[in-house]
Amino acid sequence: ETGVTQTPRHLVMGMTNKKSLKCEQHLGHNAMYWYKQSAKKPLELMFVYNFKEQTENNSVPSRFSPECPNSSHLFLHLHTLQPEDSALYLCASSQDARTVGYEQYFGPGTRLTVT
């Protein structure tokens, strides 16, 4: 266990559904991240939050909407997704995104399938 949990672990949704992914970290960190991992592609950073403020949006389509109510929780709200959005979505946390030299701790991921 890395101290980062994600729910659900698996999710199948239709293109018209609305669902949310949840991430929680128990490490006392101040930065949280969403990544997308697709087959045969490098891990892609989607969003970065530092002390609850969004500091990075890596040109992510608006059908993905992040929310960070506090430094321990991060959500990814999904709506009207496309089949190409099927992937493993990973959440991570680190001590402070502004400070160089901190490693990131990853959750186990949510395997999303869009039908």
Partner 1 sequence: SQQGEEDPQALSIQEGENATMNCSYKTSINNLQWYRQNSGRGLVHLILIRSNEREKHSGRLRVTLDTSKKSSSLLITASRAADTASYFCATDVPGAGGTSYGKLTFGQGTILTVHP
Q: Report the interface residues with partner 1, using CB under 8 A.
A: 2, 4, 6, 31, 33, 40-43, 45, 48, 50, 55-56, 88, 90, 92, 94, 97-109, 111
Q: Which is nearer to partner 1, 70 or 100 (CB)?
A: 100
Q: Which is nearer to partner 1, 73 or 79 (CB)?
A: 73
Reduced to 3 states (helix: H, G, I; strand: E, B; else coil), residue 82 is coil
Peptide bond into 61 cis (omega under 30): no
Minimum CB distance to partner 1, residue 66 (Å): 14
Give the contacts of 34 (CB within 8 A, at least 6 positions apart). Answer: 23, 45, 46, 47, 66, 74, 76, 89, 90, 91
Minimum CB distance to partner 1, residue 59 (Å): 13
Q: Which is nearer to partner 1, 5 or 17 (CB)?
A: 5
Q: Which is nearer to partner 1, 4 or 68 (CB)?
A: 4
Minimum CB distance to partner 1, residue 79 (Å): 25
Give the contacts of 115 (CB within 8 A, at least 6 positions apart). Answer: 12, 13, 14, 15, 83
Minimum CB distance to partner 1, residue 100 (Å): 5
13 close to 70: Cβ distance less than 8 angstroms: no
> CA 96, CA 101: separation in Å to the nearest integer?
9
